[in-house]
Amino acid sequence: MARHPHVLAGSLAAALTVTGTLHFVNPRVFEGLIPKALGSPRAWVYGSGAAELACAAAVAVPATRRVGGLAAAALFVGVFPGNVKMALDSHPGARHWSRKPSVAWGRLPLQVPLVAWAWRVARSADRD
């Protein structure tokens, strides 16, 4: 990861913008993460997409970067149970690539560097 705080924050903001936008462009990809007990998956997908876009905006602005980084870290932790659900529900014959076991299980350890990235952005905000 980049050492310069602006590059670190800018790349996180870009990643959050892309994934947040995907929640609105192709919500069906994310609906499998939502437990049935929570009700309408589409509403949760749109809500989490909006949260990612809000975190992206906060991270992009130096004055709100610390809060944005902390919020992004919390968001990455918060969606982890959904990623576990998707992994448990995955099967080799799935039609969509995101439902295949290799992808669903492979994404679980990726949450750790995402949380660390957001945390590092929050910590570096004071040095901007």
Q: What pLDDT, in 10s, does the model give residues 28-83?
A: 989 988 988 999 999 999 999 999 999 999 999 999 999 999 999 999 999 999 98
| Any domain includes 128 | no
Q: Look at residue 3 in the predicted model and tell me its pLDDT.
A: 60
Task: Tell me how many domains the chain contains.
Answer: 1
CA distance 35 to 100: 18
CA distance 90 to 96: 10
| Any domain includes 105 | yes
| Any domain includes 40 | yes
Containing domain of residue 63, as a range?
5-123
Average pLDDT over residues 102-124: 93
Q: Which residues contact 9 (CB under 8 A, 6 or more apart)?
A: 59, 60, 62, 65, 69, 121, 124, 125, 128
pLDDT above 70 coverage of the chain, percent: 95
pTM (predicted TM-score): 0.88
| Any domain includes 113 | yes
